[in-house]
Structure 1
Amino acid sequence: MMLDTVVNETGAGPQWAVLWLHGLGADGHDFAPIVPELLRPHWPAIRFVFPHAPVQPITINNGVPMRAWYDIVSMDFRSRADAAGVDASVQALDALIAAEIARGIPAERILLAGFSQGGAVILSAVLRRTDPIGGVIALSTYLPDPDNAAARRAPDGIRPPIFMAHGVQDPVIPQAIAAHTAETLKALGFPLAWYSYPMAHQVCGEELQALGDWLDARFQTA
């Protein structure tokens, strides 16, 4: 089943696509307002796609249903993510990637972005992916089960560039957890740019500026 999405095209005939996954309890509208803050006048036309996660009960929230990419079954970051739920969301993301390719965007010009839970899904997806992708934007997030990441990585897997940013005061995902993810990905050969900001579980203007610079480099080298 194809996910419902919010789509924002910055110009006619988009040459790039950004698939952006929201965090727990939010929806596809959550990050749509960031687009005008991020854009730069000289950039190519981009199609931003913000999918809505399905609604499901969340174990650590007393089973209350909300939009989520997977169930959170524990407070322990080594086992908190429901593996079957992560797998299902990775498959849904793969379908969105395939849809963009079918619409004429080359895989090398598709970027995956995610905040918190959404970031956990895109990082899980890129580990398993063998077809190209333009880059990965991982915001205030972590990789589920990083100690077994190497075993889960596809033997002929890709290594796209990764932009990863986190808040020093994040009370939801401690920065140490994210930093461990960054080191794990670097050890697997991913070119990763790490940014840290004096913020909580959120995004900030300085972070968006750095992300814009990183995107600028992607667009110029493609």
Structure 2
Amino acid sequence: MLETIERETGPSPRHGVIWLHGLGADGSDFVPILPELVRPEWPAIRFVFPHAPVRPVTINNGVPMRAWYDIREADLANRADEDGVAESVGQVEALIAREVERGVPVSRIFLAGFSQGGAVTLAAGLRRREPLAGLIALSTYVPAAHKAAAALAEGAHAQPVFMGHGTQDPVVPFRAGEQSQALLRELGFTVDWHAYPMPHSVCLEEIRDLGDWLAPRLAGR
């Protein structure tokens, strides 16, 4: 089981968000956004921020760092180490199972991720036979996009998707995000797509839009 940071917005949470950080960061990276994201009328939520394993990253001269998978080249078509992605998907599934054991139904668990973490989020979402409450993918892309249709599990498209991307992103080009959201729509997903005038980052407007997207999915549940 991956080590995690957890924050609960109230007692006995029956909703959960598992949030995957980007390359070289750790689970603490997105904890600071909670005051901007969480709204007082929402039910109690457990936010789980796992730390990715430390591994050598080829594109960064083999320097070990926290990474959900190795990055062998800049080209998006071949960027993600598929074995590493599969390993991370398995670790995420273990976190989901733990939340279920703690009393949070799968239908109330959101999976979120930024950059590398978002790629794992989308890879896991494609393979889910029991739909999650939703997928949140920020500044990211669908890894191994040419295999996405083959990986798609029956019923996975029932998961709503929030995607946000910076138009000035030099790490995961904006066009890659556009192509990924179009692919997900072709596969039957409902995608709420947002573009922002920012680089490879997150902005307050995006956090507000994400809150607006989450609000009706948390209301009355």
TM-score tier, shorter chain, comes to: over 0.9
Corresponding residue for 2:94?
A: 95
Q: CA deviation at 1:132?
A: 2.2
Kindly provide the CA deviation profile for residues 115-146 of structure 1, in whole angstroms up to 9, marking residues without a partner as x: 00000001000111101210011000101121
Question: Could you tell me which residue of structure 2 aligns to residue 127 of structure 1?
Answer: 126
Per the alignment, residue 12 of structure 1 pairs with 11
Q: Partner of 1:180 in structure 2?
A: 179
Q: How does 1:66-145 map onto structure 2 within 5 Å? A: 66-145=65-144
* Residues 181 and 221 (structure 1), Cα distance of their counterparts in 2 relative to 1, 3 Å cut: farther
Quote how far apart the aligned CAs of 1:155 are: 3.8
Q: What is the CA–CA distance in structure 2 between the aligned matches of 1:89 and 1:159, rounded to whole Å?
A: 22
Shift of 1:156: 4.6
Paired residue secondary structure (1:120): helix
- Cα distance 1:155–1:12, how it changes in 2: closer, same or farther (>3 A)? closer
CA RMSD of aligned residues (A): 0.9
Q: Percent identity?
A: 58
Q: Which residue of 2 aligns with 1:198?
A: 197
Shift of 1:153: 1.1
Provide the C-alpha distance between the structure 2 equivalents of 1:3 and 1:40, rounded to a whole number of angstroms: 28
Matched residues, number: 221
The AA in structure 1 aligned to 2:52 is A
- Partner of 2:43 in structure 1? 44
Aligned equivalents of 1:218, 1:162: Cα separation in 2: 12
- Return the TM-score normalized by structure 2: 0.98
Query: Which has the larger helix fraction?
Result: 2
The one-character-per-residue Cα deviations of 1:185-214 (angstroms, maximum 9, x if unpaired) are 001110100000000000001111100000
Deviation sequence 1:50-100 (CA, Å, 0-9, x none): 000000000011100000000001111001100000000000000000000
8 Å contact kept, 1:131–1:158? no
**What is the CA distance between 1:220 and its match in structure 2?**
2.1
Large movers: runs of 4+ above 3 Å: 155-158
Distance 2:21 2:125 in 1: 17
Shift in Å, 1:35 = 0.7
Q: Structure 2: which 5+ residue stretches go unaligned?
A: none
